[in-house]
Structure 1
Amino acid sequence: MSVLTRVATHQAARDEFFRSLRVLAGAPWELSRTVPGRLGRLATFLPSNNLLYSYVLFGVVPSLYTDRVLIRPSARVAETAMAVHEILGPAVREWGGNIDMRRVSQREFLDECALSDAVVFTGQPDNAEHVARRLPRESLLLSFGSGPNPVVLGPDSDLDTVCRTVLDARLYNSGQDCLCSDIVFVHRSIAHEVTSRLADSLRTVAVADRRDPRTRVSALVYPDAVADADSFLTEHREFVVVGGGTDVARNIVEPTLLHMPWNGSFHPPEFFSPVLLTMEYEDPAQIVEWLHTPEERERGMYVSTFGEPGLSGPRIATSTVCENQITFDVEDGNRPFGGHGPRAGNVRRSGEIQARPLLLSAEAARAGRGPVVRPRP
């Protein structure tokens, strides 16, 4: 926990710890279900957040069916990632796993990727294109991107529940997670009450030490996220309800609420900060149309719906529908992750690109490399 809280709030690190345990407990079941082929070498670009959880997902579990797992930590958090590896690496080696984490340049690691059977990339979709160009045609490449993960609060919402849920969906690790919701659509009939409650709640959220178990929002780890939030808030100052302050020198973004009228052409950025944006809607057809726009079809990941009978799943356009659940409720490291938007996640092999929810062991099974793996006891 002392290592994880270098880059995550104590609350988020604790959640990540138990999610990681759950993935490990579910690994035998996962491999019995997916039956992956044997991989000789896997190369993984570790993300800059959720370091323990990502190490388990893309290192520990794949080492059960991979001869050698190579991991490159993000330069932003390399020291912390290496500390996680120093704690867990010896335990992995004890039962025969082989995980090699290296602090190397991206160019050097791309050379390793070109020699690997499979590559996991976590980051900006445009950077995934650069990685793909460096790989042999037959390589298996899984690209994990991100999406806006909108939440829809319909007229039948339970206000106490949804307001707590929205704050959980936005403030997880100070908003520094790809599963955080970047926009909340609120039905006109409850918009005033919802925004009032959210504003009151955010006024009580202080920016504090991330190591304190009571802290929900701390100084951000990524200076560019602070700069991006500052630019957005400056441009949209008229919509700020509460908060809106930033301190670039100290990497601080105040817990902020903005409320906007309906604008079907607006597509939120990935805030990666404690910025909560609500937008008023009147008819669920507006949400459906918005999710079908080219921009949102490209990055469709999840859409969470509460109290809105006009929206139902399992999919709307390329977004996976979560009824009465936020993204953190449905995420399961032993099952496919994400939606069907190409920029949210895709798999490439032999010149083909397919966007779909991703699970590495399932894609290794589809690739059909080597003998079938039987899960270890």
Structure 2
Amino acid sequence: MPMSIARALLIGGAEIPARSGARTDVVNPYTGAVYASVAAAGPADVTAAVDAAHAAFGEWADLPPAQRRAVFLRAADLLESRAAQGAEYMAGEVGGARPWAEFNAAVAAGVLREAAAAITAPRGEVLASAQPGVLGLAVRRPLGVVAAFAPWNAPIILSTRAVAAPLAAGNTVVLKASEAAPLASGLFIADVLAEAGLPAGVLNVITNDLADAPAVAQALIADERVRAVNFTGSTTVGRIIGTLAAEHLKPAVLELGGKNSVIVLEDADIDYAVRAAVFGAFANSGQICMSADRILVHESVAGEFLEKFCAAVESLPTGDPADPATVIGPMVNEAAAQRVSSLVRDAVAKGAVVRAGGGTPEGAVHRATVLTGVPVDADIHHAEIFGPACVVDTFATDAEAVAKANDTEHGLSAGVITENATHALRVAAGLHTGIVHINDQSVGDEPQAPFGGVKNSGYGRFGGRWGIEAFSNTRWVTVATEQLPFPG
């Protein structure tokens, strides 16, 4: 793989430069060197991409389902065979450690296989009719062109998820890749699908400079031929995308930020709980929407848990994302590492105690950090951390644990660790989240499951039949099986 990669926009099956000729660089967060250069699209390029998607829609929607399914199955095999290439992209663009990148490729292949299955799954219902001699049907029909926005943090999984269900439902897609990871969050999956036989124009990829993102998003969502929107990213940007979609009366699926808790009940296996919590808090350096920002531990086991947890956190291998042993690699950029450091410093200034990690970031690398005694007026108590830091707190009763977990504007995911599933189900019933994992931590993704949150974590669901429903319309069809008795 060359040290510097040059790519253009993917429109209508061809790589073309931005009409302005502009380009933008992607910088490796660990080395500081330019890793890639991509075309920097503007609104005119967006229109060209929608032109291509709109032109390809009819043929793709009418392609026999078995042929469409075959494309997805070939793509899944190709993606798995190219996991190493995907890992190089993720390390070079956003500092993704190799185990995380390989996990991305494996889950994304599963997303494609689940989409393949959905293509030929039953899609509709037979309805009762009040009129004798009439058969009623409810059938799903594709929408047209879908605008998709992919983030940088799990770029292979989330770019694949952004396009798989819309394409499986018979739509065409314009995918706006993340400015931080245009290769891994857009062009990589498009290359795989194209080689698998996806027709030209069915998937188009726009890359852009960060400064142009608002204009690009506005042009894409405002185009009248775009009939639906999906976005995965921060709640702040999600509000903007959701508002734009609503202004143009377009449905949207928004998967946004989280402020997730893992609750360790009094009967938990502590060694297991420690391993689970370390993964939940620090996988991908905490840059996952489902990352565990808060570990809530029953006061009767808190001392043992904290001692073992901090020891495990201190031992996490840190540094070069290209080293397969690395767990804590660089964050997406130095500014992100400084943001986490600022949250930690603010908490300490207000009375919190650093139990592991802390210190000043080295470039984009921030040590895995554990805090206790965080007061409610600390910024980290409310803000999504989105980095390698977490807060450990205690509770005395189930009601207290649930109240602390729900003390956030977000509602994405949670974990409840216990040896008593009945107890865990009672606790889970009170949590205001779209996802709950029992005897597990908060990070989990399976392509057949309904994925999404509540409150400020967004709305709509990706995954399985829910994804197909999100990117298709229900059409009511009636068939009169005999001549109807019209008056007159």
TM-score by length of 1: 0.85
Q: CA contact under 8 A between 1:39 and 1:370: conserved in structure 2?
A: no
How far did 1:118 drift? 0.6
Secondary structure in 1 matching 2:318? coil
Q: CA contact under 8 A between 2:453 and 2:459: conserved in structure 1?
A: no
Match of 2:4 in 1: none
- Note if 1:134 corresponds to 2:244: yes
How far did 1:53 drift? 0.9
Distance 1:160 1:325, change over 3 A: same
Secondary structure in 1 matching 2:289? coil
Distance 1:172 1:49, change over 3 A: same
CA deviations over 1:90-136 (Å, ceiling 9, x no partner): 22544677110012433133222223111012223232332333335
Equivalent position amino acid for 2:373 in 1 = M
The CA RMSD measured in Å over matched residues stands at: 2.8
Larger mean Cα displacement after TM superposition, 170-179 or 304-313: 304-313
Q: CA contact under 8 A between 2:262 and 2:442: conserved in structure 1?
A: no
Match of 2:485 in 1: none
Match of 1:167 in 2: 278
Equivalent position amino acid for 2:219 in 1 = D
Q: 1:236 aligns with which of 315, 335, 347?
A: 347
Distance 1:151 1:255, change over 3 A: same
User: C-alpha separation between the residues in 1 aligned to 2:424 and 2:105?
Assistant: 37
Q: 1:29 aligns with which of 117, 120, 135?
A: 117
Match of 2:228 in 1: 118
Q: 2:372 aligns with which of 230, 252, 259?
A: 259
The size of the alignment, in residue pairs, is: 356
How far did 1:321 drift? 2.9
User: C-alpha separation between the residues in 2 aligned to 1:16 and 1:251?
Assistant: 22
User: C-alpha separation between the residues in 2 aligned to 1:82 and 1:340?
Assistant: 27
- Note if 1:368 corresponds to 2:474: yes
- Note if 1:216 corresponds to 2:327: yes
How far did 1:363 drift? 1.6
- Note if 1:109 corresponds to 2:213: no
Q: 1:18 aligns with which of 92, 98, 106?
A: 106
Q: CA contact under 8 A between 1:51 and 1:84: conserved in structure 2?
A: no
Q: CA contact under 8 A between 1:339 and 1:357: conserved in structure 2?
A: no
Distance 1:68 1:49, change over 3 A: same
Distance 1:369 1:247, change over 3 A: farther
How far did 1:218 drift? 1.0
How far did 1:200 drift? 1.2
Larger mean Cα displacement after TM superposition, 65-74 or 179-188: 65-74
Q: CA contact under 8 A between 1:241 and 1:258: conserved in structure 2?
A: yes
How far did 1:217 drift? 0.6
Larger mean Cα displacement after TM superposition, 5-14 or 89-98: 89-98
How far did 1:159 drift? 1.0
Q: CA contact under 8 A between 1:171 and 1:180: conserved in structure 2?
A: yes
CA deviations over 1:136-168 (Å, ceiling 9, x no partner): 543111111121120001110101111111111
Secondary structure in 2 matching 1:179? coil
Distance 1:327 1:357, change over 3 A: farther
Match of 2:153 in 1: 49
Q: CA contact under 8 A between 1:318 and 1:339: conserved in structure 2?
A: no
Unmatched segments (≥5 aa) in structure 2: 1-86, 125-139, 478-488
Structure whose CA Rg is larger: 2
Q: CA contact under 8 A between 2:374 and 2:381: conserved in structure 1?
A: no
Q: CA contact under 8 A between 1:44 and 1:72: conserved in structure 2?
A: yes
Secondary structure in 2 matching 1:76? coil
User: C-alpha separation between the residues in 1 aligned to 2:141 and 2:429?
Assistant: 30
How far did 1:85 drift? 4.2
Match of 1:374 in 2: none
Q: CA contact under 8 A between 1:150 and 1:182: conserved in structure 2?
A: yes
Whose relative contact order is higher, 1 or 2, with alpha carbons under 8 Å and at least 6 apart?
A: 1
Q: CA contact under 8 A between 1:313 and 1:321: conserved in structure 2?
A: no
CA deviations over 1:182-219 (Å, ceiling 9, x no partner): 00001111111111101111221232211111111111
Equivalent position amino acid for 1:240 in 2 = V
CA deviations over 1:275-295 (Å, ceiling 9, x no partner): 1321111111112223454xx
User: C-alpha separation between the residues in 2 aligned to 1:193 and 1:63?
Assistant: 49
- Note if 1:4 corresponds to 2:84: no
Structure-to-structure mapping, 1:274-353, within 5 angstroms: 274-293=388-407, 296=408, 298-307=409-418, 309=423, 312=426, 315-319=429-433, 320-329=435-444, 331-341=445-455, 343-347=456-460
Q: 1:245 aligns with which of 345, 359, 366?
A: 359
Distance 1:16 1:369, change over 3 A: farther
Distance 1:63 1:96, change over 3 A: farther
Q: CA contact under 8 A between 1:169 and 1:326: conserved in structure 2?
A: yes
Larger mean Cα displacement after TM superposition, 146-155 or 309-318: 309-318
Q: CA contact under 8 A between 2:290 and 2:412: conserved in structure 1?
A: no
User: C-alpha separation between the residues in 2 aligned to 1:339 and 1:221?
Assistant: 24
User: C-alpha separation between the residues in 1 aligned to 2:294 and 2:304?
Assistant: 17
How far did 1:44 drift? 0.8
Match of 1:352 in 2: none
Distance 1:322 1:86, change over 3 A: closer
How far did 1:174 drift? 1.4
Match of 1:350 in 2: none
CA deviations over 1:355-374 (Å, ceiling 9, x no partner): x7874322234x42799xxx
TM-score by length of 2: 0.67
Distance 1:242 1:302, change over 3 A: same
Equivalent position amino acid for 1:109 in 2 = A
Match of 1:270 in 2: 384
Distance 1:86 1:326, change over 3 A: same
User: C-alpha separation between the residues in 1 aligned to 2:191 and 2:203?
Assistant: 12
Equivalent position amino acid for 1:363 in 2 = A
How far did 1:14 drift? 0.9
Unmatched segments (≥5 aa) in structure 1: 348-355, 372-377
